[in-house]
Amino acid sequence: MRHRTGRVEVICGSMFSGKTEELIRRIRRAEIARQTVQVFKHQIDDRYHQTHVKSHNGTGLEAEPVCEPQDILDKLQSDTTVVAIDEGQFFPPTIVDVINQLANNGIRVIVSGLDTDFRGEPFGPMPHLLCIADEVQKLHAICMLCGEDATRTQRMVNGKPADYDDPIIMVGASEAYEARCRDHHDVPRRNGH
């Protein structure tokens, strides 16, 4: 079933907020509606499986690992009506052009990813994707310290918050990250302090 018009849907939030779980839910609904779906993930994300998109709770679907946005276009099948992309923050800025091209060609594109990095700053192409999206869903986790809604991802190194000047990309799960609220998100050495 072809869509009359394409669209871009972005699912964002901190780690442990259920982004991939929501992506999987939307993919399954599209499959029930007999739409042809292709699922992609950045090859850097091999935490749970090399060729599957998996949520932290263990649910998953098969996905094609890619490195460059052009790889998505190269692997696109002619009958695909829905393209799902997990961990959008890991892609270079050209992912925005590829997603726009897909949507302009009548494909429904669903992207999930972290909107901010461990510093609490915009992450990769996600801010631009939020701007071009037809629909945005921002999910919240639970703060590991107080139980309030968490909107931040706290990177931990040896049990302490990571410094501001640590590398932006470090693939990990609960061993390296915690969900935190604004009040409990701590980034030592921000602004040189």
Residues labelled as active-site residues: 87
Q: Where are the beta strands (DSSP E) in the chain?
A: 7-13, 37-42, 52-54, 60-62, 64-66, 82-86, 108-114, 135-139, 141-142, 149-150, 152-157, 160-161, 177-180
The gap from C-alpha 190 to its chain's centroid, in whole angstroms, comes to: 25
CB of 75 closer than 8 Å to CB of 64: yes
